[in-house]
Chain A
Amino acid sequence: MAVLTCQGVRKEFGGRVVLDGLDLTVDEHQVVALIGASGSGKSTLLRCVNLLEELDDGTITLDGEEISDPRVDPDRVRRRIGMVFQSYNLFPHLSVLENVTLAPRRVHRRARADAEAQARELLARVGLADRADAYPDRLSGGQQQRVAIVRALANSPRLMLLDEVTSALDPELVGEVLAMIRDLKADGMTMVLATHEMGFAREVADQVCFLDAGRVVEAGPPARVFGEPTQPRTRQFLRRIIEAGRL
């Protein structure tokens, strides 16, 4: 069953069309990788799905419910979707534990002890138990990003949206974050990830979507999209990636 469907999604910024009737379907337990040049609209699509941007046309459904309907309460939708950003966006005035328990306590109204126990367990699972009381500025980029993922997971989301979560990291820290996403996939989490890590997309994605000029130009299993792309623009993009030594 499809967890997420986007149909004819259109988004403009001041007359500039960024998403131009985009279609996308994500099935349960599936990992979909969005690839494409900078500015091709990957982040905008993820922000639209999370209702951080208003659509200019098209529909988005989550578990069969049309969430692009203006009568839908966006806060209720966002509780079911976890989002992780390129720049981590941890709350600097809160400790790691407080970052992770904020939504469970304020949104889901869980008791403090209860939320903290769950948070500590999640942190322990990713090897961050001893950093629970640290503030974000005392953590490495990789640790911050892992906390950001844990923070999103604490809401027990149906769907995770990951927007270039390793792009701001030093190369030696990328691995720890990718390992965490691999574990999420093993747990059956449904995910949409925008990424420049082609090797990683090839490894974890069930489906790769190549975005260009606001549309999904080519989609399919990674072996096919990377191995035998049919669209000239996909080939051109992949050639540039290979020349840059990133595949």
Chain B
Amino acid sequence: MSRVSPADDGVPVGRRHLPSAAQRRRAAYRRRQTTRSVLVAATSTAVLGTLLVVAVTGAPGWDRVRRSFLDPTIALDALPEVLVGLWLNVRLLVCCAVGALLLGLLIALLRTLRGPVFFPVRALAAGYTYTFRGLPLIIVLYVLTLGVPGLRLQGMPPVLVLGGLALVLTYGGYLAEVFRAGIESVHPSQLAAARSLGLTYRQTMRHVVLPQAVRRVAPPLLNDVVALQKDVGLVSLAGPIDAVRAAQIATAQSFNYTPYIVAGVLFVLLAIPLIAVTDWVTLRAARRQSGG
């Protein structure tokens, strides 16, 4: 369209807006400022990085540290064992995360039930969250993996399952509180609106409250899953060999700490996607909030 047609308010449609001199000066100033801050940031990063490398590699003990922590041959040797251990971490993480999320949700829902009929259920659920949030994970692990098998009951599950159960019980307590905070953050007027449509309490929870609650607390929930990822390795205290335990064994065999570094790097690599997802979900939640 080349023809210029006047719009209702008298401003011609289709004509390009020419910035005023003042606006052009402002834009030029902002561009200069941006260039300057990029230069400052690049220089300071380069200087700091160089200083760090020089300080570390120039340290009197650097050669010894490099030999005992960063030996490539030992790293390669230890890698298969550590990877096998890591596979255990991954499987445990998936199972425990799912279990803890389901348990947390269930406990949170039980704690929101109203009325005297549900008092025992509420009390039990509250007691659970108080106990397992207060109890150190290691103690739960020892009790379940060392104490419970001591009962010598028929059909006792393997130690790995008991260890996983300890993780689920402990993290379920934290996640229940996160879910509960989410449920309580949904305004009562939403409940009134749902109930006034004839939805039952369960339908209201399922279709109105929980979808809003879970969206709101997805970032802290995922954050707890990231924390769980680091804690699943603690089952090795009861015998199963996870990545860290495998690295420990390799270290003891080679008198060299490099396997720990290998395990550490693998853990970070494993965590990166999870943390990235958490950040993305957090950002989206923040946008949604400010978007109104």
- B192 to A89, Cβ gap below 8 A? yes
* SS of B interface (majority): helix
- A152 to B197, Cβ gap below 8 A? yes
How far does the alpha carbon of A152 sit from the alpha carbon of B195 in the complex, in Å?
A: 12
How far does the alpha carbon of A62 sit from the alpha carbon of B261 in the complex, in Å?
A: 74
**Interface residues of A, count at CB 8 A:** 26
Range, interface on chain B: 10 to 19
Residues 80 to 112 of chain A near chain B (Cβ within 8 Å): 81-83, 85, 87, 89-93, 102-103, 106-107
**Chain A nearest CB, measured from B196 CB (Å):** 4
User: A117 an interface residue at 8 Å Cβ cutoff?
Assistant: no
- A91 to B190, Cβ gap below 8 A? yes
User: A59 an interface residue at 8 Å Cβ cutoff?
Assistant: no
Q: Mark B42-72, 1 if CB is under 8 A from A, else 0.
A: 0000000000000000000000000000000
Q: Mark A123-158, 1 if CB is under 8 A from B, else 0.
A: 000000000000001000000000000011001000
Cβ–Cβ < 8 Å partners of A16 in chain B: none
How far does the alpha carbon of A247 sit from the alpha carbon of B189 in the complex, in Å?
A: 30
- B199 to A107, Cβ gap below 8 A? yes
Q: Known contacts A93-B212, A102-B207, A107-B203: does B198 contact A52 (CB below 8 Å)?
A: no
| Interface segment out of the listed A71-79, A190-198, A210-218 | A71-79
Q: Known contacts A107-B203, A137-B292: does B196 contact A83 (CB below 8 Å)?
A: yes
Cβ–Cβ < 8 Å partners of B115 in chain A: none
- B199 to A75, Cβ gap below 8 A? yes
How far does the alpha carbon of A85 sit from the alpha carbon of B215 in the complex, in Å?
A: 25
How far does the alpha carbon of A82 sit from the alpha carbon of B198 in the complex, in Å?
A: 9
User: B208 an interface residue at 8 Å Cβ cutoff?
Assistant: yes
- B197 to A78, Cβ gap below 8 A? yes
Q: Which of A76, A82, A93, A151: most chain B CB closer than 10 A?
A: A93
- B199 to A102, Cβ gap below 8 A? yes
How far does the alpha carbon of A51 sit from the alpha carbon of B211 in the complex, in Å?
A: 25
**Chain B nearest CB, measured from A84 CB (Å):** 9
Cβ–Cβ < 8 Å partners of B292 in chain A: 137
User: B193 an interface residue at 8 Å Cβ cutoff?
Assistant: yes
- B215 to A93, Cβ gap below 8 A? yes
- A81 to B196, Cβ gap below 8 A? yes
**A79 to chain B: closest residue by CB:** B198
**A102 to chain B: closest residue by CB:** B207
User: A68 an interface residue at 8 Å Cβ cutoff?
Assistant: no
Cβ–Cβ < 8 Å partners of A75 in chain B: 195, 198-200
In the complex, 28 of the A-B residue pairs with CB atoms within 8 angstroms, ordered by the A residue number, are A74-B195, A76-B198, A78-B196, A83-B196, A85-B189, A85-B192, A87-B189, A89-B189, A89-B190, A89-B193, A91-B190, A91-B194, A92-B212, A93-B212, A93-B215, A102-B199, A102-B208, A103-B197, A103-B198, A106-B199, A106-B207, A107-B197, A107-B198, A107-B199, A107-B203, A151-B197, A155-B197, A155-B198
Closest 10 CB pairs of A and B: A79-B198, A89-B193, A103-B197, A83-B196, A107-B198, A78-B198, A89-B189, A93-B211, A106-B203, A137-B292
